[in-house]
């Protein structure tokens, strides 16, 4: 796991009280996680501590799927932080989801990307570090929360079209009963697919005064946060999160970063680079990271970095590295074995 030492992760204010309502004591969680009890009173923790807390909750909850559903529904709306209240009081489900994607940038290591296509709306879960994935319970609760947001906002028991998880999630039947749709395990991504028509549903919780009160401060704070890093780094990180989804055009990335495509291109030019150049760099870096994992096939690697066919990936990789992916993987394997002796 790569540690983001300079960036602490905020714990939702209602997390510990939600566990209490489920009959799980915070001290039991810290004990299983191997952390001091004092961390319960901390507003932010390291990535390692954050994942340890979630993993400990899953162990104490018993069945993973039940733990996911229980926690997603246990949070009290009154304890939502400002970033979530701004989505809960949005005008409709679409507005709420896009606000969620934008404001999720306040709370690494998870990240969200959204794409509307035909009758579907796909929301993919990614991570601040493209080769890092959080514990299954965190993945499950994050996707369940997105549906829970729609249900609480509209007052209707909305259902998803499809849910995909890359890792085992416990009793699939429990998850299917909650999401109201088929749940696939062993997928290439963690994705919630909604009916696009549901995004037009108005929120009964819409509070224009609250939204107008929260939005300027949140947007200003987020802009300040994003301006603290180079646009080059921000774009590369966003591209890596979305390689497999195919959302690789400059407009989609700009929208995810909360800027116009012209502003994004202008800032990249000022940093001596361009979007196409960064896309190629991101693909090259991720290709090498995935090829280093022998469990991934060449077809899977091609898909994960955004190529529809293996031949296109092979041609691009040869341009980048001067050799085929097969040769690169073989050479890397030999070098790795030699270093381990």
| Residues 118-139: tens digit of each pLDDT | 999 999 998 865 446 789 999 9
Note whether 72 and 196 are same-domain residues: yes
Note whether 70 and 196 are same-domain residues: yes
Residue 267 lies in a domain: no
Note whether 183 and 302 are same-domain residues: no
pLDDT over 80 (residue 262): yes
**Contact residues for 6 (Cβ-Cβ < 8 A; gap 6+):** none
Residue 143 lies in a domain: yes
Q: How far is it, in rounded angstroms, from Cα 298 to Cα 308? A: 12
Note whether 92 and 186 are same-domain residues: yes
Q: How far is it, in rounded angstroms, from Cα 254 to Cα 235? A: 8
Per-residue pLDDT of 275-286, as tens digits, reads 999 999 888 988
DSSP 39: G
- Asked if 258 contacts 223 with a C-beta cutoff of 8 angstroms, the reply is yes
pTM to 2 decimal places: 0.68
Note whether 192 and 288 are same-domain residues: no
Note whether 70 and 184 are same-domain residues: yes
**Which of 95-109, 233-247, 310-324 reaches the highest mean pLDDT?**
310-324
Residue 142 lies in a domain: yes
Of 167, 200, 233, at which residue does a domain stop?
Answer: 200
Domain that holds residue 305: 277-340
Residue 157 lies in a domain: yes
What confidence score (pLDDT) does residue 6 get? Answer: 43
Of 147, 167, 200, at which residue does a domain stop?
Answer: 200
Note whether 185 and 100 are same-domain residues: yes
Note whether 70 and 162 are same-domain residues: yes
* Average pLDDT, integer, range 186-205: 95
The enclosing domain of 324 has a CATH number of 1.10.10.60
User: Is the preceding omega at residue 3 within 30 degrees of 0, hence cis?
Assistant: no
Note whether 95 and 191 are same-domain residues: yes
Q: How far is it, in rounded angstroms, from Cα 180 to Cα 197? A: 16
Q: Phi, psi at residue 307, to the nearest 5°?
A: -100, 135
Note whether 175 and 72 are same-domain residues: yes
Residue 41 lies in a domain: no
Average model confidence (pLDDT) across the chain: 86
Interaxial angle between packed helices 310-321 and 275-291, expressed in degrees from 0 to 180 and rounded to the nearest 10: 100
Residue 287 lies in a domain: yes
Q: How far is it, in rounded angstroms, from Cα 32 to Cα 59? A: 8
Residue 229 lies in a domain: no
Structural domain count of the chain: 2
Q: How far is it, in rounded angstroms, from Cα 173 to Cα 161? A: 15
Of 182, 200, 218, at which residue does a domain stop?
Answer: 200
Residue 22 lies in a domain: no
Note whether 70 and 195 are same-domain residues: yes
């Amino acid at each position: 796991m790569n540690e983001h030492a300079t960036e602490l992760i905020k714990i939702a204010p209602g997390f510990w009280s939600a566990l209490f309502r489920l009959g799980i004591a915070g001290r039991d969680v810290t004990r299983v996680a191997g952390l001091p009890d004092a961390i319960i009173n901390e507003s932010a923790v390291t990535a390692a501590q954050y994942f340890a807390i979630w993993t400990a909750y899953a162990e104490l909850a018993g069945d993973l799927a039940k733990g996911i559903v229980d926690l997603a529904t246990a949070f009290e709306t009154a304890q939502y932080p400002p970033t979530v209240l701004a989505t809960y009081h949005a005008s409709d489900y679409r507005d709420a989801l896009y606000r969620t994607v934008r404001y999720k940038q306040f709370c690494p290591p998870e990240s969200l990307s959204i794409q509307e296509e035909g009758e579907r709306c796909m929301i993919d879960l990614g991570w601040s570090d493209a080769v890092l994935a959080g514990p299954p319970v965190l993945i499950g609760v994050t996707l369940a929360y997105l549906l829970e947001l729609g249900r609480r906002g509209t007052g209707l028991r909305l259902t998803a079209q499809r849910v995909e998880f890359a890792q085992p999630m416990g009793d699939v039947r429990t998850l299917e009963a909650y999401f109201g749709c088929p749940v696939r395990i062993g997928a290439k991504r963690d994705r919630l697919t909604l009916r696009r028509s549901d995004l037009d549903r108005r929120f009964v919780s819409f509070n224009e005064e609250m939204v107008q009160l929260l939005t300027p401060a949140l947007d200003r704070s987020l802009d300040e946060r994003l301006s603290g890093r180079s646009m080059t780094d921000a774009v590369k990180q966003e591209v890596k999160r979305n390689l497999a989804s195919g959302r690789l055009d400059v407009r989609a990335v700009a929208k995810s970063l909360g800027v116009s495509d012209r502003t994004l291109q202008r800032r990249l030019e000022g940093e001596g680079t361009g979007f196409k150049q960064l896309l190629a760099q991101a693909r090259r870096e991720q290709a090498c990271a995935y090829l280093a994992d022998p469990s991934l096939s060449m077809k899977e690697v091609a898909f994960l970095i955004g190529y529809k066919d293996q031949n296109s990936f092979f041609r691009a990789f040869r341009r980048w590295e001067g050799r085929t992916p097969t040769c690169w993987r073989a050479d890397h394997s030999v070098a790795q074995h030699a270093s381990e002796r």
